[in-house]
Amino acid sequence: MSVSTVESVEKFVNFIKSPTLTVVHFAADWADQCGQVTEVLRELLKIPEIQASKTQFAICDAENLSEISLQYKVDSVPTVILFKNGEQVDRVDGADAAQITAKVKTHSLGKAAPVNAAPQKLEDRLKALINRHNVMVFMKGSRDAPRCGFSRTLIQILNGTGVSYDTFDILTDEEVRQGLKEYSDWPTYPQLYVKGELIGGLDIIKELQTNGELDATLKA
Ligand SMILES: N[C@@H](CCC(=O)N[C@@H](CS)C(=O)NCC(=O)O)C(=O)O
């Protein structure tokens, strides 16, 4: 048994249909933490009881198969989703080896598997989102089509630095829009994070640029 790769929507649909546990790791090449999660899955595959349970493991490129990522709200990698009979039974957002191990064991060995998996905590989702990229921007609209002047100006400044970054459109998700304000104690957008730490909004970024500290902050 090995960790297989799901390359198409058809293959994914077929794969998750199984009545035995199917574990899908949504990953991206550029995300270091995905390698760690694949290792965790490989270790789990070596456990005889898990092998006997006919649990399947697969890796799905979250960006290539964006249709599936969207359907299952995979907005950060790594995300591990557990399926049975085509239905999601549980998930772990982020590279949390302990949680992945515990959940795969619970569901594959059938021990006290919850009838309804507890909904994912908003805080866990926000943490995973904030850490989706070293430089993460929560904004209105996308980098190609900002939908607010503050967000547009921030994108222009970031593009000028040549630094690689990722964005999340808070207008697509009211839960994230309101939740992140509270979580980070910052009432407006855009919000810029470096390595999971809030740097600030547009005013702060402009200030850092004026002081010549922006590049160092982004490359921290
Ligand atoms: N001075 C702020 C300007 C940003 C701002 O005022 N954003 C507003 C309007 S786009 C906002 O996000 N309001 C809360 C919301 O729309 O949820 C900064 O430095 O970033």
Domain ranges of the chain: 4-109, 120-218
Q: Residue 126: what pLDDT? A: 93
3-state helix, strand, coil in the chain (%, to 5): 45, 20, 35
Candidates 3.30.70.380, 3.10.450.240, 3.40.50.2300, 3.40.30.10; correct CATH number of 120-218?
A: 3.40.30.10
d(CA 101, CA 157): 42
Instruction: Give the predicted TM-score (pTM) of the model.
Output: 0.61
- The answer to whether 45 and 1 have CB atoms below 8 angstroms apart is yes
ipTM for the complex shown? 0.98
- Beta strands 56-61 and 87-93, pairing class: unpaired
Q: Is the N-terminal amide bond of 78 cis, ω within 30° of 0?
A: yes
Using CA positions, which residue lies closest to atom 8 of ligand 1? 188
b/e sequence 156-184, b meaning 16+ C-beta within 10 Å? ebbeeeeeebebbbbeebeebbebbbeeb
- Establish whether residue 148 lines the binding site of ligand 1, counting it when its CB lies within 6 angstroms of any ligand atom: yes
d(CA 111, CA 119): 19
Alpha carbon of 191 to ligand 1 centroid (Å): 9
Candidates 3.40.470.10, 3.40.50.150, 3.40.50.20, 3.40.30.10; correct CATH number of 4-109?
A: 3.40.30.10
- Establish whether residue 189 lines the binding site of ligand 1, counting it when its CB lies within 6 angstroms of any ligand atom: yes
Q: Is the N-terminal amide bond of 119 cis, ω within 30° of 0?
A: no
- Establish whether residue 58 lines the binding site of ligand 1, counting it when its CB lies within 6 angstroms of any ligand atom: no
Q: Residue 90: what pLDDT? A: 94
Q: Do domains 4-109 and 120-218 have the same CATH topology?
A: yes
Where the chain has pLDDT below 50, the residues are 113-117
